[in-house]
């Protein structure tokens, strides 16, 4: 049984006999010596997406749930939602826009390193790789004669994501983006 201190975003646990996925963890450390660190955790129900907020101490035990983490591939988006395929048995799963709300800006054709969280044969969520590589679709040109300081500009990607990139990068270049922070890392 995992403790609350060991929880990570994307873990699936059981609360009141129902499967919940960890969507956010906020750690509050008290300033007094005898204080206990509190973990304010937001869970989303796997099927209904209902939110549940709980405050836990680091020693609280949680009940894990049986799930599989399998490599998946993003196929396409249509009016039904987002369709993914299991790389092992080629089964296809469709998730609604609400179910992929957080990873949506990073989903693009050819994305690698996606994992699906499968509970009882149903895809309940996706896990992004730590870093994605995406081509820049649109960015303003660099200003000639600019200083050597680290100036940035806005870049737009095919998924609609907009981030700040160094001024020297141009449209069409492929960049690496950290999916946790949403920040530029380097050229690919």
**Residue 52 sits in the same domain as residue 10:** yes
Residue 105 pLDDT exceeds 80: yes
Which of 129, 145, 161 lies at the terminal end of a domain, its last residue?
129
Domain count, the chain: 3
**Residue 9 sits in the same domain as residue 55:** yes
**Residue 54 sits in the same domain as residue 75:** no
Residue 80 pLDDT exceeds 80: yes
Residue 165 pLDDT exceeds 90: yes
What band does 1 get if pLDDT is binned at 50, 70 and 90?
A: low
Best CA proximity match to 23, nearest among 2, 54, 1:
54
Structural domain range at position 28: 4-64
CA 2 distance to own-chain centroid: 21
Residue 146 has a pLDDT of: 57
Which of 22, 41, 64 lies at the terminal end of a domain, its last residue?
64
Does residue 174 contact residue 134 with C-beta atoms inside 8 Å? yes
Residues 138-151: tens digit of each pLDDT: 999 877 665 556 78
Residue 17 token pair: 């006999």
Which of 129, 151, 173 lies at the terminal end of a domain, its last residue?
129
CATH number at residue 47: 2.30.30.30
**Residue 140 sits in the same domain as residue 103:** no
Residue 173 has a pLDDT of: 93
**Residue 110 sits in the same domain as residue 91:** yes
Residue 134 token pair: 């995406």
The pTM assigned to this predicted structure is 0.70
**Residue 121 sits in the same domain as residue 141:** no
Residues 6-44: tens digit of each pLDDT: 887 777 888 888 888 888 888 888 776 667 788 888 888
Residue 55 token pair: 């405050």
**Residue 109 sits in the same domain as residue 162:** no
Mean pLDDT of 124-144: 86
**Residue 150 sits in the same domain as residue 179:** yes
CATH number at residue 114: 2.40.50.140
**Position with higher pLDDT, 164 vs 66:** 164
In this structure, the strands spanning 18-28 and 183-187 are: unpaired
**Residue 97 sits in the same domain as residue 124:** yes
Residue 29 has a pLDDT of: 80
């Amino acid at each position: 049984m995992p403790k609350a201190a060991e929880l990570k975003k994307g873990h699936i646990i059981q609360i009141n006999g129902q499967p919940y996925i960890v969507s956010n963890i906020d750690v509050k450390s008290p300033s007094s010596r005898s204080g206990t660190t509190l973990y304010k955790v937001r869970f989303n129900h796997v099927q209904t997406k209902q939110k549940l907020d709980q405050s836990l101490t680091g020693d609280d035990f949680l009940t894990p749930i049986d799930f599989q983490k399998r490599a998946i591939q993003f196929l396409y988006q249509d009016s039904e939602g987002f369709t993914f395929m299991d790389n092992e048995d080629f089964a296809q799963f469709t998730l609604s826009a609400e179910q992929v709300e957080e990873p949506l800006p990073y989903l693009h054709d050819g994305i690698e390193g996606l994992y699906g969280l499968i509970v009882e044969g149903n895809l309940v969520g996706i896990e992004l790789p730590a870093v994605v590589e995406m081509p820049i679709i649109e960015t303003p040109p660099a200003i000639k004669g600019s200083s050597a300081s680290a100036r940035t500009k806005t870049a737009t990607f095919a998924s609609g994501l907009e981030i700040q990139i160094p001024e020297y990068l141009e449209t069409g270049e492929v960049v690496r983006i950290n999916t946790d922070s949403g920040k530029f890392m380097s050229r690919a």
